Amino acid sequence: MSKEYLFALKKIYHHMDLDKFYQLVREHVKQTRIIELDVRESLNHVLAENIYSPYDRPLFDLSHADGFAVKYDDIRNASEDNPVKLRIVRNINSRKANDYTLKNGEAIFVETGYPLPIGADTVIPIEDTIVENEYVYIRKPLPRFSHVFPRGSDYSRGEQVFSKGTRITPFILKTLLDLGVGEIRVYDKPRVALFSVGDELVDEPFDPINWRLPTSTRFLEKYAIEYYGGLIIREDKLPDDPKSIVEAVSSVVGEADIIVTIGGVSMGPRDHTWISLYEAFKPQHYWRGLKMHPARSTSGLFIDGKSIINQPGLHQSSLSALILVITPVLNYVQGQILEPRYPCINLSLMNKYVENKYIDHYRVRPVKIHGSKCEIIDLKGSYYLSPINMSDGFTVLKPGTREINVGDNIRVCFYEPIHKIYNISAI
């Protein structure tokens, strides 16, 4: 057989269903180790345990207003014509009123967010009172427990607050600190190696004179990977040379949890990346193309419980691979569910949309939002940046979908940090 014929055989794509790909990931990819971490350093990690409240929150009945803590039974009959007169207890710290037991006919001044005295069950805001010398006058009744945060009304002791698999956001971190949680078990951040492949690439902006292309996709993917919890341990630019590709991947395969190559995977003659790695590592489990568009040529292999993902380098293909492959795998190795999960809304379609190609694929399509309606933007081709920059989100056409009519509701999703939901009303 000729070398050309053998090479052609290697290039044959067997586009795999995404569900089958996800199943292979579950079977052959290891999750990162579980570590104990100071809560203050846990931002963007994923919880490896459920979190339960260690105590009632609040610990005491707290005031929801600056005012006087009273017994409801003392003020239940108060009115403008017949105000209730209560003796003010002086020399009580308004932030430690729970050191005192309130007697009938008494009132104690308390501050917002601080405990009530024992026996008090209602707070009268100071603006609803009249103070004269040693007495406060209540001119109208309020319901029992008015302006009171009851003990345990936020979280009760032992109540589950967060579930294993939850990514720690700034507000979750704050909540953990407010609950008194000092250390937590989380999944270690996955270590990711990121390589751009191509003789034509330079780590500089595009220069129309020499026609060398910037490694811009690597910067996009680096930011997205870090956003979803990945730790970049190496990034580099590689030539279209099988030996260089194999040497670079081999040098990090022991340390990295995920390896991503960008470029060098295509239907054209420079289809070096997957073929070189397949021949070097001879993996038992791999995939050669996926039923998704753009990025149909996305291929890869599994080695020692790790994913090596080879994706094409064009802009639309890169975003599609991030949405359907890289981010789901990244989330999975951090203990989250293996599926594309993003914020989504339902919107009415403004333009009839018809497709006749790749009907058995998952197809990522950019969407422009117009108030409560939207339009699907024509991709024009994987080379084009403008459809992505025009878009506010994306939709995924599932296998079998050929036509969507005007007025049909579609699922519009947002891949952060690319889509920032600019055109969605906050009210």
Same domain, 236 and 304: yes
- The widest CA-to-CA distance across the chain, in whole angstroms, is 108
- The last residue of one of the domains, among 133, 163, 187, is 187
* Residue ending a domain, choose from 334, 367, 402: 334
Model pLDDT, residue 277:
93
Low-confidence ranges of the chain (pLDDT < 50): 1-8, 426-427
| Model pLDDT, residue 5 | 39
Residues 6+ apart with CB under 8 A from 284: 302
pLDDT in tens, 241-300: 999 999 999 999 999 999 999 988 765 556 788 899 999 999 999 999 999 999 999 999
Q: Are residues 46 and 176 in the same domain?
A: yes
CATH code (residue 170)? 3.90.105.10
Q: Which of 131, 164, 187 is the last residue of a domain?
A: 187
Domain with 209 in it: what CATH number? 3.40.980.10
Q: Is 256 within a domain?
A: yes
Write down the pLDDT at residue 200. Answer: 83
Question: How much is the pLDDT for 2?
Answer: 44
Q: Within a 10 A sphere around the Cβ of 142, how many other Cβ atoms? A: 18
214 and 133, same structural domain?
no
- Nearest Cα to Cα of residue 308 among 355, 360, 261, 369: 261
CA dihedral 78, 80, 83, 89 (to 10 degrees): 90
- Whether residue 357 contacts residue 364, with contact meaning beta carbons closer than 8 Å, is answered with no
398: domain CATH number is 2.40.340.10
Residue 270 and residue 348 share a domain: no
- Centre a 10 Å sphere on the Cβ of residue 405 and count the other Cβ atoms it contains: 10
Q: pLDDT tens digit string along 88-107? A: 999 999 999 999 999 999 99
Q: What residue numbers bound the domain in which 177 lies?
A: 35-57+154-187
**DSSP for residue 420:** -
In a domain, 421, yes or no: no
User: What is the spatial distance between Cα 353 and Cα 341, in angstroms, rounded to a whole number?
Assistant: 24
